[in-house]
Amino acid sequence: MIMKNNNLKTVGMEKGQLYETIISSLSANGRKNAAPIGVLCKSEEEVAVYIYQGSHTHKNISNSDYFVVNLTTNPLLLTECTLGDIPADYFYEFKGNPVLKENDAFFISRVIKKKELVHENELGSSPMTVFTAKVEEIVKNEDVVRPLNRGIYAVIESLIHFTRLEIGDFETRQNIYLKIKEMDRVARRVGSASEKKALQEILEAVHEKYKDLE
């Protein structure tokens, strides 16, 4: 393992960007938990996570004020952590914290601020807690770490959709266009400046070529 300091730039994370990670945490009775959760990089040494109240992760972080952010591009691990509880042998202990064995890097986070809010979307209203945390220690298991950011995937998906606009009738094009607009929404919310600009250029190209789309 390659030990690093607490600067998030060493694992490719930039201020203002939201990254798809797996957060592992420990319950009061020692049960390990892991869940895919987006992590916002607030500065070189601070992150914020928005956690739904009532979840195992929320309860564990509230009890201990600590959590581990695991950076991985392993699709199977991301899937298994989303679909249900993973076995205890998927973890190992690092300074009293549960860490996933399969990761490219991880960092220990200590909560320094909490804020309650209500998140509203098309599915309804849900109480959440925003945990702001200080990065205490980073460990890299790979020389090069590429944390997942949905912005770049939104660009890729939009480009694929764009190439398919010529196929089918107006209704088909309209459905594809709506998918591109949804990817634009994702990029504007979590993407970098270049990803936002890329989606803007894609939409401009769509409007120029297909003036009947709205």
Of the pLDDT bands very low, low, confident and very high (cuts 50, 70, 90), residue 86 is very high
The reported pLDDT for the residue numbered 116 is 94
The CA distance from 1 to 106, in Å, is 11
Question: Nearest to residue 76, comparing CAs of 102, 107, 37?
Answer: 102
Numbered ranges of CATH 1.20.58 in the chain? 150-209
Show Cβ contacts of residue 17 under 8 Å, excluding neighbours closer than 6 positions. 40, 41, 149, 151, 190, 192
Q: Which amino acid is at 212?
A: D
Report CA torsion sign: 170, 176, 180, 183. positive
Numbered ranges of CATH 2.30.110.10 in the chain? 2-140
The CA distance from 17 to 9, in Å, is 12
- Using one digit for the tens of pLDDT, what is the confidence trace for 56-82? 999 999 999 999 999 998 888 999 999
Three-class SS state of 31: coil
> Looking at the predicted structure, is the pLDDT value of residue 3 above 80?
no
Can you list the pairs that 73-80 forms with residues at least 24 positions away whose Cβ atoms lie under 8 Å?
73/104, 73/146, 73/148, 74/102, 74/103, 77/22, 77/102, 78/20, 78/22, 78/36
The DSSP string of 43-104 is: SSSEEEEEEETTSHHHHHHHHHSEEEEEE---HHHHHHHHHSPPPGGGEEEETTEEEESS-S
> Looking at the predicted structure, is the pLDDT value of residue 122 above 80?
no
> Looking at the predicted structure, is the pLDDT value of residue 182 above 60?
yes
- Using one digit for the tens of pLDDT, what is the confidence trace for 130-142? 999 999 999 998 8
* Two structure tokens written together for 24: 């592992």
Q: What is the pTM assigned to this prediction?
A: 0.84
The CA distance from 56 to 67, in Å, is 12
Q: Which CATH superfamily is domain 2-140 in?
A: Electron Transport, Fmn-binding Protein; Chain A (2.30.110.10)
| CATH architecture, domain 150-209 | Up-down Bundle (1.20)
The reported pLDDT for the residue numbered 184 is 94
In the predicted model, what is the mean pLDDT of residues 177-190?
A: 92
* Two structure tokens written together for 81: 């952590």
